[in-house]
Every structure is written in C-alpha cells, then in structure tokens.
Amino acid sequence: MIIYLLIIIAILYFLSWNLIKNRTFHIVASTITSLLLLGAVVLSIMNFNDHYGMHRVNQTKTEQLASVSPSKQMKMLIYQPVGTSSAAKKYQVVIYKNHDDQKKTSHTNPDTSVINHIHQNSSVKSPKMVTTKTRWEYKSHSAKLMFDLAQKANTDKTVNDFYVPKNWLVLSAKQAKALPKIMKQEQSNMKAQMSSPQAKMQMQRQAQSFIQAKMMQAMQKNPQMPAQQKAKLMKQLQAEFKQQVQQKAAAQLMPKVMQQVKQVK
C-alpha cells in the first residue's frame, strides 16, 4: 500500500503546488502534502533499511547426521572453504549425509547469509544438524498491508550447527582427497617396520607370552581339558592376539595419518 500512497500523495503534491490559485488554500494544501510525502518517503526508507514494521522470527529444525565416508570404521564430515582466505575462515560449505543409505551427499547453501559451525565433543552420542533460520516477518496484519508490496518477508540468515563425536574426522575437501594416498603410504611404512626380523621376533615372543598366559588360566579352571578343546582354544587365542595387534596398529596409524593430513591446506 505504501507504493500506492506515494503515487497518490505525489499527485496531490503536484496539484497543490501548481493548480491551486487561492493563496491560503495553496499554502495549507502544499504544506500538508509535503509533510505527507516526506513521511511516506521516510517510512519507505526505514522499511527498506531498518525493516520498520518487521521483527525477527527464528525457526529451528533438527536432522540426524551420517558419515560421508564409505568406510564404516572411519566416520567423516567434510567442509569446503568459500571465497578468499580471510573470508574462508568465516564462510564454508559443509558436505554431509542425513542417512547411511543416502547415495548422494548434501551440502549447505554457498551463501554469505549461511553460517556453518562444526562442534566436536566426546559427549555427542547421536550426530545431528541443527538449522536455525532467522526471518524478517511483519509484526501485524496492518504493517504487512502497508509495506508488503515494497518488501516481502525474507530470510535474514541461516545458522547450521553440526554436532559430531570427537572420534569423527572433520576435514576440508582437499584433506579428504589426500587422505587415501596418505593412509596407503603410512600403512606401507608400518608394514615395512613390522616385517623387519627384529619386529617379527618381538611379535612372536609377545604372541607366545599372551597365549601361554591365557592357556594357563584356562587349564587352572579346567585341568582335565581334552586335547581337542585345547587345540580349539589355541586357535581362538591366536585370532584374539592377531585382532589386538591390528587394533594397536590402527591406533598408532591414525595419529601419524592425521598429522600428515592436517598439513594439507
């Protein structure tokens, strides 16, 4: 309505200044139309610049998160900095999934009105994405009736908060791309170290000590254990020791891998 009022007042302003011959009526009409025109212009400017007649309304939505990594053992969330190096610290696009069976990844809107925060905390049990959208909406029906043609209700900003456990990898797109190559190299280095004669001999001694200790415990509980059961237990203990070695190797591998990955800019 404010646009129509501006047009009508502008016409009246023109008529009062140019067509009214009576001096007294001319002064009164010109003064009133001038003030009305000035007021309408000021209200329009306040609506455009300061959202006069409007207020902020927050809308919050929570969605579950899933890792974008194809590996079930390695949970991952990826981000991509946007713009120049200074702006990239503030603005970034986050690449994510909402479900494990989701084929294509989703990403946040690459816009300066969209702000993404990634929170890593060991207390997080269920990864989630909390989206808070702040919109400018009119305070009342009369305000909407007055200014809606000039400015529609619109989104002021969107804040996405990603909550993931501490054991998730949060990497840039470049770091995620470099990860497989770094992982393969570090695995090769570790394999070479474990293949040395000294490492093999030490591993054999550890395996022997582990199996003997477990077998002694089992024999103390069951001194009359049959030979067949002993053989079965021996295989189980060998598999258990192998699993422990693999877990220990993985625990030693990841810090080395992440040290290399963090150097990728």
Give the pLDDT of residue 4. Answer: 81
CA distance 100 to 69: 10
Which tens digit of pLDDT belongs to each residue from 60-103? 999 999 999 888 878 999 999 887 655 555 688 999 999 988 98
Q: 189-210: string of b/e by CB count within 10 Å (b at 16+)?
A: eeeeeeeeeeeeeeeeeebeeb
What is the rounded distance in angstroms from the CA atom of residue 31 to the CA atom of residue 16? 9
Report pLDDT for 84.
64
- The reported pLDDT for the residue numbered 133 is 95
Q: Collapse the DSSP code of 121 into the 3-class scheme (helix H, G, I; strand E, B; otherwise coil) and give the result.
A: coil
C-alpha to C-alpha distance for 218 and 224, rounded to whole angstroms: 10
- The overall average pLDDT reported for the chain is 87
pLDDT at position 86: 59
Asked if residues 118 and 65 have their Cβ atoms less than 8 Å apart, the reply is no
* pLDDT per residue as tens digits for the range 8-20: 888 888 888 888 7
H/E segment holding residue 231 = helix 227-261
**Per mean pLDDT, which range of 16-25, 48-57, 103-112 is the poorest?**
16-25
pLDDT of residue 117: 93
Checking if the pLDDT of 247 tops 90, the result is no
Residue 194 has pLDDT above 70, yes or no: yes
pTM: 0.72
Residue 100's SS3 state is coil
Distance CA 144, CA 192 (A): 72
What is the CA 252 to chain-centroid distance, rounded?
28
Q: pLDDT tens digits, residue range 174-190?
A: 999 998 898 888 888 88
